[in-house]
Amino acid sequence: MGQILGLVQVDQSTVAIKENFGKFSEVLEPGCHFLPWCIGQQIAGYLSLRVRQLDVRCETKTKDNVFVTVVASVQYRALADKASDAFYKLSNTREQIQSYVFDVIRATVPKLGLDDAFEQKNEIAKAVEEELEKVSAKHFFCLIVVLNFL
């Protein structure tokens, strides 16, 4: 019934992307909003602002020819003030984060021996976090990167 009257509810920890005849108009905060569909206003989609976790499992070889599996846990969330960029410019956030994590781990770990890789686990995690912050400042915010070796 709310859709017919033009009323839209945006849930807590979520923002909605409003369009006018297919063009971005504004980001709607949580609450109730009036969107008269008869003059072309509609919701293009919703974006969650909750913290999400992505576990990236990467197998790589160390300097001393030992294969290790590195699991990087990345916690990230969309920024409310950059919600339109996150909605329109990112097609698959999880895969894009995963590719950056793979690049950093596969560039760093093969330079180290097995013992050094275990000892420098925090430095590798910091390198992953720095690389993600360079790229993600436009779209989302990386909170924590934790590395574990299996």
CB-hemisphere CA count at 13 Å for 115?
0
- pLDDT beyond 60 at 94: yes
Could you tell me the domains of the chain?
A: 2-48 (no CATH), 52-149 (3.30.479.30)
Q: Flag the least confident range among 54-63, 83-92, 135-144.
A: 135-144
Q: What digits encode the pLDDT tens for the residues 38-72?
A: 888 999 999 999 999 999 999 999 898 889 998 98
Letter for the amino acid at 63? K
Does residue 76 contact residue 57 with C-beta atoms inside 8 Å?
A: no
